[in-house]
């Protein structure tokens, strides 16, 4: 399923972004307050992406049954 693969790629990109954000904070390019705000938004997007992935998988199982 192409859409499921797209979600997996998006999840990988999100993980890369989390690392880059952490690195930016550790190297003092990003103030802690900004890091916290952006990281909270990333966590929210991560939860939404996981929920979407689960719903797509459930729909795939339902359509096969």
Q: What's the rounded Cα separation, in Å, for the pair 35 and 33?
A: 5
User: Which domain, by its residues, includes 43?
Assistant: 2-55
Between 64 and 39, where is the model more confident? 39
Residue 63: band (very low, low, confident or very high) from pLDDT cuts 50, 70, 90 = confident
Q: Is residue 14 part of a domain?
A: yes
User: Looking at the domain assignment, is residue 60 inside a domain?
Assistant: no
Per-residue confidence band for 61, with pLDDT thresholds at 50, 70 and 90: confident
Residue 38 lies in a domain: yes
What lies within 8 Å, CB to CB, of 35 at 6+ separation is: 21, 22, 24, 25
Residue 18 lies in a domain: yes
Count: domains in the chain = 1
Q: Judge contact between 4 and 57, C-beta under 8 A.
A: yes
Q: Kindly report the pTM of this predicted structure.
A: 0.82
The alpha-helical segments, DSSP class H, found in 1-65 are: 2-26, 32-64
User: pLDDT tens digit string along 2-52?
Assistant: 888 999 999 999 999 999 999 999 999 999 999 999 999 999 999 999 999
């Amino acid at each position: 399923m192409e859409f499921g693969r797209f979600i997996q790629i998006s999840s990988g990109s999100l993980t890369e972004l989390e690392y880059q954000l952490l690195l930016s904070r550790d190297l003092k390019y990003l103030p802690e307050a900004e890091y916290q705000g952006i990281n909270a938004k990333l966590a929210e997007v991560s939860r939404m992406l996981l929920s979407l992935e689960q719903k797509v998988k459930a729909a795939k199982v339902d359509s096969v049954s």
